[in-house]
Structure 1
Amino acid sequence: MADLPAPDDQLDEAFAAYLHSCDTGEVGSREEFLAQFPDLADDLKELMDAADMIGGLTQAEASIDTPAPTDTGAETISVSAAAGADDSGLDPAATLPMANRPKGDPGPTLPFDLGDYQLLEVLGRGGMGVVYLAKQNHLDRMVAVKMIRSGMLAGADEVRRFYTEAQAAARLHHPGIVSVHQFGHRAGHHFFSMEYVAGTDLQKRINGSILEPRVAARYVRDVANAIQHAHQNEVLHRDLKPANVLIDKSDRVHVTDFGLAKNLDADSSVTGSGAAVGTPHYMAPEQAGGHSDRASKQSDVYSLGAILFACVAGRPPLVGDTVMQTLLQVVHEPAPPLRSVRPETPVDLDTIVAKCLEKNPLKRYQSAEELADELDAFLQGRPIAARPRSAMMKTWHWLERVPVVGALTGRHVVETSVSHRRFQACILFLFLLTPLAGVALLQVWHHYNNVLPQSIQLAGGLDGGVYNDVTKRISDRLVDDYGVQVQLIPTAGSFDNRARLLAGDVHLAPMQASAISGDQLCVVAPLFYEAVHVVVHHELPVESIEDLAGYDVAVGPPLSGSRRTAELVFDSIQLEPAIRPREVSGWSEMYQPNAPRAAVICIGKRSTLVSNLLTSGDWKLVPIPDAIQISLQHPTLRPMSIHADEYPDANLPAAGIATIGTTAFLAARQDTPGDLVSAALKVLYEQPTLFPSLISRSNAAEWQGLSFHPVARRYFQRNQTQ
């Protein structure tokens, strides 16, 4: 068992965590931080008070050498703090040791008069500044005032960075960028005032819940348009992240915090080569590698892609256990596909994000405007210009993360997954035992088999049956959503579909539950319930299915599910061989003069075929008694009723017609590509509803005892936990 840290070590670690939180702006209040360490609270508080006192002295020394603001077009003020100047505006709390100020508030005591501004409340704290809600007295308006955060790190470099932010933002005039009104130095405080945006920020919106893809695309499109304006004015932001995107009460975005901005037309950056500036999760690889001087417009495009990823996935694209691990991943590791984190993401949006997050700046969108245009095309349903990476390229990127492959290609591998390490072991073993290479080839082949086919075959059903209509609707959506070619193949029904699946002639097929058996077939999704409709001509003295003995009865073809269900019912009520089944190739034959005067049709309720027969006035529905006993003999059947409102023009009894029913499923082979199964599930359950009688995905758990395709099982299990 490892030794526990000594108490002094725990105190040092807690105090170091506090200083890091202050530096990054993550600390909320002192009380909140101390609550995390109840056993160390008293000693930790003494260290905090001492640090605050030293920080106050440090800030006072740093303010002696303050750079004069440069005229940027915004109104500036500069009030001398030299001896003899009017210092009546000084905050009394600013001259006191930090230990005597209100707990958790290192800034001036509020409300505080700062010349024309009255600071009212703290809106937020960042790594280098504090933003206050203030009232500008002369113009009688609410503004936001940003001041350098007092404390240990308020040095001369931070002051220069503070004025760089004010100057960069002041030269920009765009509705999507927070406007700077005024900046300067008064009463010992460096500050600038800016537009007050009432609302929230994008990070808080993400923390509340991940965004719908279209909402996220709209937000980032508007941010991209604002950043394009900044780029046109030769300003790089270099610290784009969700927390720096404000959302007002009208749901419009406003970009803020130009503290790390760089003017391209002048050497105005406060950082140089060797410094990684930005927020690790959202900075571009060239920034994370310490080459901030190489930051370009494409660096901001990368950050926009990372923001879009976080909006849709709920987390940044690359996340390490430490800041250093995150930086290394940003530099060396490829960003994961957005659809691997949120599978329901539209393919076009996944493609746009992937292009933004390319390691090579030349492979990204070359301007924020180009990205905004792509997002506009996505939102309007137009084709995008970017193309998704090929399966071969995805495979190569995966292989590059194997350590031995990375070493051979010069690729630096930061960390490897279990699958990469196992793959490397296979490669090394193949050098010793060549026959094992066949195993690796089979794995690669399996990977390619999971890719969505560009040509898909769907089985239908009988002429006039509902299966043809269902597969036609699935086909239309596959074509619209994925741009694939789909061929519809008419068949003789469920058991014909089963044979075609086993032979590999079709990819997907609807069929009744009784047809799905064996190790090769599996379920993709339940579709709808099918009821046995016993339809009898009025001229026959028949009141239930048991009275059909001796009559000709139309049934489906031998390979149809309707025929199979009819045979199960006949067997259960012992009508065979007394009944005379007559095979029909399609239910449209029921309209011919020489058609049988009775039929057993297993089809979805509200069927157009049955409705037309009943409303003609020549046909009626009769019940199937003992439905419960039949279902006990045949587990794929279940008791069911046909209600009057399902055929409103047929004058059915108010109590309905008792019958037996089954379930229709969308089926596939066990080796069907996973991407095809995912696509089929997406088109089935996307809005609007594919057809009214579709069984909802939330009810799919009722059939969990069946053999589902692995992708389908994971899909429905996720739905159960949501």
Structure 2
Amino acid sequence: MPVPSEADDPIDEAFAAYLRSCDEGSVGSREEFLAQFPEMAEELKSLMDAADAIHRFTGASVPDSGEVAQAAAAADTVDVMVAGPDDSGDDPAATLPEAHRPKGDPGPTLPYTLGDYELLEVIGRGGMGVVYRATQRMLNRTVAVKMIRGGMLACENDVRRFYTEAQAAARLHHPGIVPVYQFGHEAGHHFFSMALIEGTDLQRKINDGELPIEDAARYVRDVARALEHAHQNDLLHRDMKPANILIDQKDRVHITDFGLAKNLSTDSSVTGSGAAVGTPNYMAPEQAGGHSDRATRQSDVYSLGAILFACVTGRPPLVGDSVVETLMQVVHEPPPAMRSFRSNVPTDLETIVAKCLEKEPRKRYQSARDLAEDLDAFMEGRPILARPRGRLLKMWHWVAGVPLVGALIGRKIVRTSPGHRRFQAAMLLLLALSPFLFVIGAMLWSHHIEAMPQSVTLAGGLDQGTYNRVSQALADRLEQSAGVATRVVASGGSLDNRQRLIAREVQLAPMQASAISGDELCVIAPLFYEAAHLLVRAPELLEHQDSFGLQFLAGQRIAVGPIGSGSRRAADMILDSLKLPADATPREVIPWDRLQSTDAPDVALICVGRGSELVSQLLRRDWRLVAIPQGITISMQHPTLRTITIDPTDYPTAGIPEGGLATVGTTAFLVTRRDAPSALVQTTLELLYQSPRLFVDLIPRERAAEWQGLDLHHAARGYFESLDIESR
């Protein structure tokens, strides 16, 4: 606490007198006491209310008059036990003028004989004790003697805590822990003697200026090793802070002040459930929340992380304007980044500190030894075990600090930064503008998805098939006229094209009518008719051809297209309608260019566009076209098939009768996804019907009305409807 100014002296003296009276039980009521100081009654009442708030926050009952002094003492547990050239310059109690020191604790007149000890000078004062440089006459050595403040007026709890500190330290034997020599009661004074550490303490080093990072890591590593010794002996410190770490003239650390220690083996301590004990800035969240009885080894590890933070940055991780606010921050607020106070902090060291300062004990280092080993690794340039928090987690912790977000998730926000307030203001503004932004976004998104893509991929079909030829011709026009980069990929036919469209591998694909299904696909335009070409090459089969049926095919091997192709799908429907099952009439997949081989079947059923070059080549050899007269029956069983006639002009040298050859066929459509950009569909239609005709068998756009019942893309429907209006 700061040294009081002259203007504040009367209030300080009055409040100190009030605390002493409460401690001694000599005060009547608060109102009677305030009546003695009418000119400063309001200021004194504010200080008393603050003391009440501390008790309420820590879970204790609202204090009676005698309890307030005890609460005030617990708020500051600093006990300085070092001797050096400036022994009193940084200790608040030691710097007070004699007139401002507690009147109930003047202390003995020095030099003073206390049993075997000669008290020579005061070297430190704290919330509970006074430390003297003394000479132990019998052993002729200089020691430090700590006496309880208040002397014979000390309350029972202070005495118990005083002896807890002495007994706890006396059972530990480690070079990093100040050893206790003797404790007892002499001439009404409770005291214990311990080694005198010539040097300073870590808090003073922090106050003197920025510590080198290597020194900060070394100090805390050595403290962690000493603390591990205490933990191995079932002793928790529970009040680790820089002022309780002494540094001797050889730059070695020594832990002191075990006044709040807890013996894990006996589950005993000087505090009970519901008390927040320790120093708020360095207290673990479980202690700050009023559960000091739940403190574990990880609670001391948290304090070590806070100490390392202070060594590197010059300040504790969480600092509030009051004790209560600091405790609230420790419980609820994440610590700030060390680099926000010192830019050159190594990432590994920041990661180590962050692991120590986790709110949940299970996420911290599980022992002080683990922390020491990670600090060793950091100092030696080896990989550390701690892992940094992910960016998403860091971002979430920051966003959770926004008051509005904190209220929604039930997190208590103690203090908000300007950045959090600006972010919240932006959130509220965005919320107010969200309807307008939604409309604008929807418009922009609609424009984006409806715009012409920069590149287009089209599916083709089987090698030498009509699908490949049509897709390539359309791709050439898109590239030349619309300036769109295009690519045609070969496929296994209609069913393969369907899967590629659904998987978004292609944007446009020719497809047989029977393959168009599902909610994701729709039609752009009809392309051409595909006729079922039944070809036979064995003369004996032609001689036995039944003009009223195709029963002569029973038992014959029939070449059909591969599974997944439109040709195969049409062939299966036709043969099934003719009651020629696959087990009685084997269906074989063979490349069409191998139909001339001697081991190929003598019958082939190919569903392609009329005038096909493939069929023309076969007809120039030994193959002949055969009619499929049952077209009406077949089309009734399979609505995607229809009766069709192969004209003599389709194959001039094939000897087709003047009236044509009856067969069945289907329609090939250009298909896309339902969410395809309107600009792509519109441009494709314009180029598809652009002169000269894209291919000979293209169904004219004037006849597209025949397929208006199909599920057309909305842009295609608009295109054809506009043509219908123009024709009227």
TM-score by length of 2: 0.47
TM-score by length of 1: 0.47
Higher Cα Rg: structure 1 or 2? Answer: 2
